[in-house]
Structure 1
Amino acid sequence: MKDPKKLGINTICTHVGEIEDKQFKGAVSPVYMATSYAFDNVDVKRYPRYFNTPNQEGMCRKIAALEKTEDALVFSSGMAAISAALFAFLQKGDHVILQQVIYGGTYNFVAKEFEKYGIEYSYTESNSVNDFEALIQSNTKIIYIETPSNPLLGITDMKAISDLAKAKGIITMIDNTFASPINQNPVAYGIDIMIHSGTKYMGGHSDISAGAVAGSKEHIAKIWETAINYGGNLSDFMVWMLERSMKTLNLRVKEQTKNAQVVAEYLEESPHIDRVYYPGLTSHPDHELAKIQMKGFGAMMAFELTEGIDAMEFQNALELIKPSMSLAGLESTTVSPAQTTHALLTEEERLERGIKQGLIRFSTGIEEPEDLIADIEQAIQKTKKELV
């Protein structure tokens, strides 16, 4: 096949990493369900936990092509990918700098696990590169960022972070889930390791749990050495399902991104919404930076309802949009971060990160935006209360 770097994005989504059906000439990759393979007189000693079954290898090539990196690994969940990537480069006495507002699961993982292993960590007070620089210690090994961030869609300057880290010999990692490889390729700005919850945009149909890590061959090889010990590999059937889903990744994300812009602009003008967090709005404090480092502003946003509208009553009044735990499916969904993704944080920790009880995270699907707006409007009308 032609060099993936010279292929169009839809061609990469559709064809890179596919497995030829040599026996029956089927149009889609066959799925190899074996958990036991020959070890003698073979080129590769295959074993599912070693991330090297035929389907796993094919998926890794596709993810690497999409992120424009040398290599990749596919995992059973986003947290499996995050934990393997971090632990691969850390040992007792090391220090990590993390962006203040990140996925609640990542925050909980750091808080609950790092102390056991004698790993130190610090959180920034903002996304400013100056905050990261001020926290660097002689034992700092990793800078970990998430942009756009979950759930407030903050934007971090990837090139500034990368330049700072490289000058100090520090590895950079990014959770690139919210943008997806369609809207953002952090490697272009010098970030070392890209991490995804493949459950989200890569899967895209709310029926797959997966994770991914992409980077240089050297970095992925080091992560592999740790990952094989934790057992976070993805089953071959789910890898096959993920390949099926990723064929439409670009088409889905572009449509969702287009819809998100329309809905965000409507919400910003609504008298019933106090604030909208979406990098595609000129009112977003990091809008200009997002324009530079993103190819599209993504399909995720968050908003705060005005006083007199209860967040849960509003979500329960929705008829088309689904209140749901996850995100990035074809269908539009809402969630209350304080009760789900960031529920493991204390109320004080949530408020420090700007996550109020009434904050709603909105994942835009592929429905017509007019239908989404109509559903939001009717839910507002049903639940708003006149203030005395």
Structure 2
Amino acid sequence: MKSKNIGINTICTHIGEVEDKQFKGAVSPLYMSSSYAYEDVDVKRYPRYFNTPNQEALCKKIAMLEKSEAGLIFGSGMAAVSTTMLAFLHKGDHVVLPQTLYGGTYNFVVEEFHKFGIEYSFAEGFSEADFSEKIQKNTKVIFVETPSNPLMRITDLEMISRIAKQRGIVTMIDNTFASPVNQTPADFGIDIMIHSATKYMGGHSDILAGAVAASEEHIKIIWNLAKNLGGSLSDYTVWLLERSMKTMVLRVKAQNMNAKKMAKWLDKHPLVEKVYYPGLKSHPDHELAKKQMNGYTGMLSFEINESLNVGDFLKALKMIKPSMSLAGVESTILSPAKTSHALLSAEERKRQNISDGLLRFSVGIEETEDIIADLEEAFQKVSKMEKI
């Protein structure tokens, strides 16, 4: 099969398979061994070196999906984020990041970087000026997250790539919320793509994994540190992840469609103050999202009326699960202030416009009529409680 121009569903289904040479099975065999021969072999395999048969095969799929030369898979999204950043940042270096970041990434930066002598600055907005003014002589990396978690802000990837390349800076993106289905940052010149593969790549709320895709040169730099930090993934989970990714496009497109319907419905609801979804024309980055995304994702956030109790609203839901994480086939919802951004101080959350009434909604593949019915019943129940 010529892999250069094949479609994304075909990549998900066929690229990165391990051939079953013995029994000719239709799916990849699973190699569970943690110990491999080292004499008279082409490759000296060791799980911590990210080169077992199942690991190597899956990395090919991830790399092709992100239009990159190579990939690595990790034990979690944060293992992928932390290893990749530390591979390119050393004592005396500086990194620029957006103010609105996933809480785990933000906490990693502010809690750990000073221990390594790494400096950092947060861009207060999303314009070229916002990022450019934070760049210093010792800036080595610009790290972005788009759409952002949880307010769904969009960063101009072409702009980030341009200002970085002018200065010899490496660019990184957390592409988790978009997935390669909705966004391929390499098309805009971004160097390194990072994912919490727990989310859309896994898609069934039963896998913990991270992924990185980049040039062979950049992956080698990351691998040199990764092999020492030991954030590799078990081969059974690798096998499960490959299985899950075969349906990623189908799942994500269904979630895109449902999320757009839900955003429009919530935007008109009298008990909803604001909806954050780049697919809405009212979103400040809607035109940019149209330009650099193929779909608007299955993620959105919304703020409920301040008269309603967030905890009571979540408890009133019956089908939608108040649950950590996101991007499973089932709809889930959470309060960022109590979960994903709980490590931030109240002041830091306020600076990022994360209110106590904000809810992050991961829309699943259920019929939207059923999702709407569950939300409406909860709104009505909590509204009556407040009037008593």
TM-score normalized by structure 1?
Answer: 0.99
Query: Residue type matched to 2:210 in 1?
Result: G
Secondary structure of 1:250's counterpart equals helix
SS in 1 for 2:337: helix
Question: Matched residues in 1 for 2:257 and 2:310: separation?
Answer: 25
Structure 2: 5+ residue stretches without partners: none
Q: Summarize the alignment of residues 175-190 of structure 1 with structure 2, pairs less than 5 Å apart.
A: 175-190=174-189
Contact 1:99 1:144 in 2 (8 A): yes
Alpha-carbon RMSD: 1.0
Q: 2:261 aligns to what SS in structure 1? A: helix
SS in 1 for 2:356: coil
SS of aligned partner of 2:159: helix
Provide the residue aligned with 2:84 in structure 1.
85
What letter corresponds to residue 2 of structure 2 in structure 1?
Answer: K
Deviation, structure 1 residue 325: 0.5
The corresponding residue for 1:58 is 57
- Alignment partner, residue 209 of structure 1: 208
Residue 239 of structure 1: SS of its match in structure 2? Answer: helix
Cα distance in structure 2, aligned partners of 1:32 and 1:46: 12
In 1: Cα distance, 2:21 partner to 2:251 partner: 30
Q: Give the aligned residue type for 1:142.
A: V
In the aligned structure 2, how far is the partner of 1:241 from the partner of 1:46? 20
CA distance in 2, matches of 1:166, 1:384: 53
What whole-Å deviation, never above 9, does each CA across 1:177-235 have from its counterpart, x for those lacking one? 00000000000000000000000000000000000000111101110001101100111
Partner of 1:196: 195
* 8 A contact 2:306–2:357 mirrored in 1: no
Counterpart residue number, 1:248 = 247
Q: Determine if contact 1:308/1:387 at 8 Å carries over to the other structure.
A: no
The equivalent residue for 1:234 is 233
**1:118-156 CA distances to partner (integer Å, 9 max, x unpaired)?**
000001111222111001110000000000000000000
Matches of 1:307 and 1:137 in 2, distance apart?
41
2:8 paired with 1:9 = yes
Q: 4+ runs of 1 displaced by more than 3 Å?
A: 385-388
Cα drift, residue 73 of structure 1? 0.3
Verify the 8 A CA contact 2:277 2:299 in the aligned structure 1: yes
Matches within 5 A, 1:279-358: 279-358=278-357
Quote how far apart the aligned CAs of 1:6 are: 1.2
Percent of counterpart pairs with the same letter? 65
**Structure 2 partner of 1:258:** 257
**Unmatched 5+ residue regions in structure 1?**
none
Size of the aligned set, in residue pairs, is 387
How far apart are 1:307 and its partner, in Å? 2.2
- Alpha carbons 2:71, 2:219 under 8 Å: kept: yes
Cα distance in 1, alignment partners of residues 217 and 163 from structure 2: 21
Distance in 1 (CA, whole Å) between partners of 2:175 and 2:130 is 21
CA distance in 2, matches of 1:126, 1:287: 16
Letter of the aligned partner of 2:143 in structure 1?
A: Y
Matched to 1:299, the amino acid is G
Q: How far 1:387 moved relative to its partner?
A: 6.8
Task: Output the CA distance in 2 between the equivalents of 1:22 and 1:42.
Answer: 18
Shift of 1:112: 1.2
Instruction: Check whether the contact 2:194–2:213 (CA below 8 A) recurs between aligned residues.
Output: yes
Q: Residue 166 of structure 2: SS of its match in structure 1?
A: helix
Report what 2:34 is aligned to: 35
Task: Provide the secondary structure at the position in 2 that maps to 1:381.
Answer: helix
Distance 2:40 2:91 in 1: 41
1:137 is matched with: 136
